[in-house]
Chain A
Amino acid sequence: MNAMAPLVRVSSLKKRYGERTVVDIDSLDVAPGEVLAILGPNGAGKSTLFRLLLLLEQPDAGTIEFAGDSNPAQRIAGVFQAPFLFTGTVRYNIEVGLRARGVDGAERTRRVGEALDLLSLANLADADVRALSGGEAQRVALARALAVRPELLVLDEPTSSLDVTLRTRFREDLVRLLRTQVRSAVLITHDAADAYAVADRVAVMQDGRIVQVGTPEDIVLAPATPFVAAFTGADLFLHGTVSAADEQLITVRLSDGVSILATAGADARERLRPGAAAQVAYRPEDVVIAPGSGAGESSAQNRFQLLVASIAPSGALVRVKLEGEIGLVALVTRQGAESLRLEPGLAVVAQLKAAAVRAFPTG
């Protein structure tokens, strides 16, 4: 995919508001046929990048180039975080972009009908937009953007204003439609679940910069920085010193004396020489708990004999705090917790694959 000429190429893009640089991107490409997610926390500059990509704002430096140079503004469409539906009917809203592009008559009627069908809005075609629910309004906003058949569709936090049930449904619609109806898409989101569900590649944005670009798997399994690890769910960090390092594995001796095997990215490995200060991150869902005497074969390279300190429900899962030679937190299913008869004081073996532990240099 990346071998093809990109549909959009962002180079040395900078945008400042006053003294503050809100977007500072060296390079970022969107390939034809690709869905790229821009993932980042609030204030990372995502919405500014959204407006820049839609050519609604001028950058202070750098360029956004579209393959083939014919009128890029006519080849893109955007869906805003809080979509404003123009006063009138659902049909009128879907016609807006088509009218702007001079699509008339039977062709316009046909395209409006198609867009209504794509988002199951046909029965609401003549409804006043003021009568719509939040989920319906968001679908109208998506339908009117799809109706113009953009080569690049840019969406800013399209699910953030929806409740959980609507979000799941809308996300499913989005996955289906982005695959079938548009050439390429950029999805801007602070929600890693959105990004993983929809995108081919994820670009993680922090303080206006892109800190890592990769497949969802890359981002989850090989976060480039502690920020990326933390932002994508590995909120648990342990500090220590590198005691050994080879091609594959880094051994980090933690402050309480115990060692943990970890992996690291190529850049990080350069700096993770023996004696270097390091931190390791893991995801609580990667910690596997087995009964205390369980000494069976396992591919886990980190094994710790620990005691259950506390158990607390965490949504649909159970958060288990473990103490002993090392303090860990595990997330297990309720069923798993029941079948293991987890209770405070129970001795268990906690296993954590080295591949699921990520080491980063500190300082």
Chain B
Amino acid sequence: MTNPVRLLASVLVLAVLAVPLAGCGRDDDGVRAITVFGAASLTDALTELGHAFEAANPDVRIEFSFAGSSSLREQILAGAPADVFASANEENMDLLVEVGAVRTPVDIASNRLAIVVPDGNPAGVRSLDDFADSSYLVGLCAVEVPCGDFARQAFARAGVEPAPDTEEPDVRSLLTKVAAGDLDAGIVYETDVRTADATVDGIEIPAAENVVVTYPIAVVTGSGDVTLAEEFVAFILSPEGFGILRRLGFGSP
């Protein structure tokens, strides 16, 4: 048997040696990279936009960090190395604009809310009213994150007092619980329903009760490569970029 101390030591040495490999040694080969901080609900859209942009610019790498917009805002305020920030609501972007952490934002797309139910709608949920009925297991996003805030605006418009069984910390975890059949229904974005098409169905929320969400994007002031960051934003606003967004179910800004 190997001496456990020696084994542990060699593991540690290997781990230390691996650190430089994990870091980015990319600059040596002349490849430029930017990091995009994106709202969770833009995960698929931004990833695809990034791939398309990389395909058109072989010497460019777009890296992503996806999370709730408010977490990302906090990270940028704390000096996280972001080059571009795409938020799921105006509020988080405005806060960063106020303190000069980002340059002037532009809207890239819009979205609306929808009721999401598991494939085939086994519980037979029909409208926002059913969210007040305690015989259904329903979930919302927590009010602290944009999808939860918007959902409550929709309920206020519909005059319904929802009784959720859970308030999920982000829209994706809510979607996952509905898709797995652990919840009868939830309120997510229309684009989320489309993404999870195979496992969920969507129920439209009437325009009078629905909320239109716009996604602003901005170059972070402290970006190490403002030119590239601006090029990526311009690409998203181009017809090709918007084509990708539209295909994923987003509306025009």
B is a partner of A: no
